[in-house]
Amino acid sequence: MIRVSVLCLLLSGVPALSLTAQEQRALPVLPPDRQIAAAVLPLPADRRPGATVLGYDAQGRLVRLRQGSGIFTCLADDPRDDRFHVACYHNSLEPFMARGRQLRAQGVQGDAVDSTRNADVAAGRIRMPALASLYSLTGPGTSYDPATGAVTGARPLFVVYVPGATEASTGLSATPRPGAPWLMDPGTPKAHIMFQPGMGQ
């Protein structure tokens, strides 16, 4: 389901991989302006111009495409993935997200990424915000038309991070229900409220 796959990517971070020469030649990397245009689409329109955007260079490395003055950081669609996925999160989440990317680049996988970051939070090496938002769009690889900037068939996801929150502290269920917000990863540093319009329809 989208709700699981999207968050696995976002919370684990995006690795900066080293590609072979053959992979580099085959990589369909969009020009920076097209990557930026797509990356900011999940945000409300008034937040898009000031967003910082991370995207990909011609070798498929994650780089800063635009330094913004706003409160959001956006991730461009990964050319190594056969789906379309772009996401924007509040800048206060950057240390947590960046640590995930660093761990993945070092070869850390699966639950070890989260357990390491949880330990970092507990030790004070990563400071989590009290509340922060994330927006994303996910769909088939054909969802985005770079020529027109149009997106079709991609589903929005809205997330509000509430680190350490539980079912008892929020009154929210940790069980997904169609059309209702729910709490994912309760009691952990990455506890967050999920809002997925149209889920289950």
Asked if residue 52 is part of any domain, the answer here is: yes
Asked if residue 157 is part of any domain, the answer here is: no
Asked if residue 77 is part of any domain, the answer here is: yes
pLDDT at residue 12 above 60?
no
pLDDT-derived band at 6 (thresholds 50, 70, 90) equals very low
Tokens 């929005």 belong to: 156
CB burial readout 100-124, b (16+ within 10 A) else e: bbbbbeeebeeeebbebbeebbeee
Asked if residue 78 is part of any domain, the answer here is: yes
Asked if residue 61 is part of any domain, the answer here is: yes
Structure tokens at 175: 């069980």
| Total count of domains within the chain | 1
How much of the chain, in percent, has pLDDT values that exceed 90?
78
| Cβ atoms of 84 and 137 closer than 8 Å | yes
Q: Which residue has the higher pLDDT, 84 or 10?
A: 84
Cβ contacts of 5 within 8 Å, gap of 6 or more = 138
Mean pLDDT value across residues 170-174: 97
Torsion sign (Cα): 55, 57, 62, 67: negative
Structure tokens at 22: 């053959």
Per-residue pLDDT at 198: 60
Domain that holds residue 99: 2-130+137-144
pLDDT-derived band at 23 (thresholds 50, 70, 90) equals very low
Q: Write down the H helix ranges in 20-124.
A: 21-26, 32-39, 94-105, 111-122
Say how far apart CA 56 and CA 48 lie, in whole Å. Answer: 19
| Cβ atoms of 135 and 157 closer than 8 Å | yes
Asked if residue 37 is part of any domain, the answer here is: yes
